């Protein structure tokens, strides 16, 4: 009996010790890794000038109010060598997603090396791909910092913090603003002109960061923002029941796509720009009126709109009638060239994709995505290892679905107070409080993700000062810089904007 008691007591103690060990293991935060930074020297010719520059590629730890590490932000910073110049701007650059690294703007337009793609909307296929010197890089007139938000690139949470602590509109803006302030301190950039440069959701991020950086005491005042393929007011692009605005704001891009693929009669218009102005006028006039009237619209009004929609988009009258004159973006991408067995791209509607299920309502994948993704993924990894001496075993997260699926879209405390997410008022307030604050907006005519007419609507409302907004347009898509003529025009426009 005594032996049985001793045995049971021993077992109980062992189990208790084991549970305590497991509990302690669960309570232990993730070990803090060492900071890794690679500094390399380079020289090349940009805009006709030979520039020697230094690249800082690596980690930057951010800390909470208790000085505990919370996040590691990986960035690639380019500084021209020579005497510091307080007139030389610093560009903080990031992409969108949410969940995307900065690879697209880094390797597509601003960086000293560029992924070379066909300009005509063709897929790149399998490697090897072409990585070329980018003589258009802005490094001759500006220093640049390419930032990977938490969960993208090599950026990640630290210690007791989890990634989801930073995956939301507000949460992301706070930590990205923290990085800008910390990077400014580290490199003593306080008295330099600063611009935020964002693409796609990155323009939403830029608007939210403007509020975090520039409002309140101890502010970091900005010279402006550059919004490339902009989405700053989600009412213009959210196809929710009862919201007719996206059907209006997407229409000119539908028409541009139909023009490009030659499925409409273009004889009445001398060029694309003239045609799109006619579509804008129709969208804001007769079309908007019939949508707002709903069942109050007469048969004659509906017939007139139906006829013009057919002429402008190339979609059949039967489809338009079934859609109640309201064209969903994904249905359009599938329907426009359904008879040919192909869909058009969302990020860039010049691209075509062969479809397996010809009766489906949506494409099986975005052809303008899978046509270019492999080249950017391969070449950013190749470039970091061969040119920047970044040697890491972990995966460089190009675009994380984990981040996107966990994203908190509420900036305000609850949905009722927020309504549709809209950061445009933050930009307008920045303009009111800072008379030097300017906005550059780059738009692709064939962008079905963030249509140019939706951006025009945002910039024409919300208190934006139009005299300090530069709007430019390119005959390409979301990533207009993969089209060589548009890349050259975009860089020229940004140079002019920075040097005004």
Q: Give pLDDT tens digits for 370-380.
A: 999 999 999 99
What mean pLDDT, rounded, does the chain reach? 93
Structural contact between residues 357 and 345, judged by C-beta atoms closer than 8 angstroms: no
How many Å apart are CA 302 and CA 290, to the nearest integer? 7
How many Å apart are CA 375 and CA 112, to the nearest integer? 17
How many Å apart are CA 39 and CA 482, to the nearest integer? 29
Do 69 and 208 lie in one domain? The reply is yes
This prediction has a pTM of 0.92
Reply yes or no on whether the pLDDT at 282 is more than 60.
Answer: yes
Reply yes or no on whether the pLDDT at 23 is more than 60.
Answer: no
Q: What is the pLDDT of residues 163-199, one digit of tens each?
A: 999 999 999 999 999 999 999 999 999 999 999 999 9
- Domain count of the chain? 2
Q: What is the pLDDT of residues 388-436, one digit of tens each?
A: 999 999 999 999 999 999 999 998 776 667 789 999 999 999 999 999 9
Q: What is the pLDDT of residues 380-395, one digit of tens each?
A: 999 999 999 999 999 9
Mean pLDDT of 337-355: 96
Reply yes or no on whether the pLDDT at 4 is more than 60.
Answer: no
The vertex-486 CA angle with 483 and 491, nearest 5°, equals: 120
Do 396 and 331 lie in one domain? The reply is no
Reply yes or no on whether the pLDDT at 223 is more than 70.
Answer: yes
DSSP state of 411: S
Q: What is the pLDDT of residue 30?
A: 67
Do 145 and 221 lie in one domain? The reply is yes
Please report, rounded to a whole number, the percentage of residues in the chain having pLDDT higher than 90: 89
Q: What is the pLDDT of residue 83?
A: 84
Strands 352-354 and 469-474: unpaired
Q: What is the pLDDT of residue 9?
A: 41
Residue 319 binned pLDDT confidence (cut-offs 50, 70, 90): very high
Q: What is the pLDDT of residue 415?
A: 63
The token duo for 156 is: 């990640």
Mean pLDDT of 204-223: 96
Do 98 and 199 lie in one domain? The reply is yes
Backbone angles phi, psi at 316, to 5 degrees: -70, 150
Mean pLDDT of 302-313: 98
How many Å apart are CA 449 and CA 91, to the nearest integer? 25
Task: Report if residue 184 sits inside a domain.
Answer: yes
Beta-sheet strands, E only, within 161-209: 194-200
Reply yes or no on whether the pLDDT at 151 is more than 70.
Answer: yes
Q: What is the pLDDT of residue 500?
A: 86
284-288: long-range contacts, CB 8 A cutoff, minimum separation 24: 284/248, 287/248, 287/251, 287/325, 288/244, 288/248
Q: What is the pLDDT of residue 418?
A: 77
User: H helices of 82-161, where?
Assistant: 103-105
The token duo for 374 is: 């492999």
Peptide bond into 98 cis (omega under 30): yes
Reply yes or no on whether the pLDDT at 15 is more than 60.
Answer: no
Strands 469-474 and 438-444: parallel
Q: What is the pLDDT of residue 25?
A: 44
The token duo for 18 is: 């084991």
DSSP state of 408: B
Q: Quick one: which of 365, 335, 363, 333 has its CA closest to 349? A: 333
Can you give the length of the chain in residues? Answer: 500
Structural contact between residues 298 and 345, judged by C-beta atoms closer than 8 angstroms: no
Q: Name the domain boundary from 339, 370, 401.
A: 370
Residue 442 binned pLDDT confidence (cut-offs 50, 70, 90): very high
Do 366 and 383 lie in one domain? The reply is no
The residues, ordered by sequence, that sit 6+ positions from 130 with a Cβ below 8 Å of its Cβ are 115, 116
Do 147 and 133 lie in one domain? The reply is yes
How many Å apart are CA 128 and CA 134, to the nearest integer? 18
Do 348 and 436 lie in one domain? The reply is no
Do 45 and 194 lie in one domain? The reply is yes
Q: What is the pLDDT of residue 93?
A: 98
Q: What is the pLDDT of residue 419?
A: 84
Structural contact between residues 488 and 496, judged by C-beta atoms closer than 8 angstroms: no
Give CA torsion, residues 107, 110, 111, 116, to 10 deg.
40
Q: What is the pLDDT of residue 16?
A: 52
Q: How far is CA 262 from CA 286, 336, 347, 380, in A?
A: 25, 11, 19, 36
Strands 438-444 and 224-230: parallel
Do 317 and 395 lie in one domain? The reply is no
Do 192 and 265 lie in one domain? The reply is no
Q: For residue 224, what are the domain limits?
A: 37-235+373-499
Mean pLDDT of 454-465: 96
């Amino acid at each position: 009996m005594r032996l049985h008691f001793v045995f049971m007591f021993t077992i109980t103690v062992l189990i208790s010790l084991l549970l305590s060990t497991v509990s302690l293991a669960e309570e232990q935060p993730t070990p803090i890794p060492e900071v890794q930074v690679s500094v390399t020297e380079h020289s090349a010719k940009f805009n006709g000038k030979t520039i020697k520059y230094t690249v800082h590629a690596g980690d930057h730890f951010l800390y909470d109010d208790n000085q505990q590490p919370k996040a590691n932000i990986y960035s690639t910073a380019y500084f021209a060598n020579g005497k510091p110049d307080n007139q030389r701007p610093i560009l903080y650059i990031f992409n969108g997603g949410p969940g995307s690294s900065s690879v697209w703007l880094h390797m597509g337009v601003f960086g000293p090396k560029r992924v070379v793609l066909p300009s005509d909307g063709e897929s790149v296929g399998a490697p090897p791909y072409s990585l070329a010197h980018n003589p258009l890089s802005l490094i001759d007139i500006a220093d640049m910092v390419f930032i990977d938000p938490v969960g993208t690139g090599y950026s990640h949470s630290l210690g007791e913090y989890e990634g989801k602590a930073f995956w939301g509109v507000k949460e992301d803006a706070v930590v990205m603003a923290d990085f800008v302030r910390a990077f400014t301190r580290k490199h003593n950039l306080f008295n330099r002109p600063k611009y935020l440069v964002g693409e796609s959701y990155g323009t939403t991020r830029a608007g939210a960061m403007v509020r975090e950086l520039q409002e309140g005491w101890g502010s970091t005042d900005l010279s402006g923002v550059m919004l490339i393929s902009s989405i700053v007011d989600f009412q213009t692009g959210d196809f929710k029941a009862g919201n007719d605005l996206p059907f209006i704001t997407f229409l000119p891009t539908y028409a541009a796509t139909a023009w490009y693929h030659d499925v409409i009669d273009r004889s009445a218009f001398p060029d694309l720009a003239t045609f799109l102005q006619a579509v804008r006028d129709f969208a804001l006039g007769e079309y908007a009126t019939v949508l707002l009237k709903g069942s109050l619209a007469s048969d004659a009004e509906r017939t007139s709109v139906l006829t013009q929609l057919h002429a402008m988009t190339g979609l059949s009258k039967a489809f338009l009638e079934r859609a109640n004159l309201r064209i969903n973006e994904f249905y359009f991408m599938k329907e426009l060239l359904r008879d040919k067995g192909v869909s058009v791209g969302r990020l860039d509607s010049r691209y075509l994709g062969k479809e397996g299920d010809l009766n489906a309502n949506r494409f099986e994948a975005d052809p303008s995505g899978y046509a270019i993704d492999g080249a950017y993924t391969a070449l950013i990894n190749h470039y970091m290892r061969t040119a920047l001496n970044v040697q890491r075993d972990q995966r460089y997260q190009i675009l994380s679905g984990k981040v996107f699926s966990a994203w908190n879209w509420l900036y305000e405390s609850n949905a009722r107070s927020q309504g549709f997410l809209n950061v445009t008022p933050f930009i307008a307030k920045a303009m009111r409080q800072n008379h030097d604050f300017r906005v550059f907006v780059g738009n692709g005519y064939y962008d079905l993700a963030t249509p140019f007419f939706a951006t025009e609507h945002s910039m024409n409302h919300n208190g934006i000062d139009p005299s300090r907004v530069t709007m430019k347009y390119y005959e390409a898509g979301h990533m207009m810089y993969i089209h060589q003529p548009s890349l050259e025009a975009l860089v020229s426009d940004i140079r002019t904007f920075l040097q005004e």
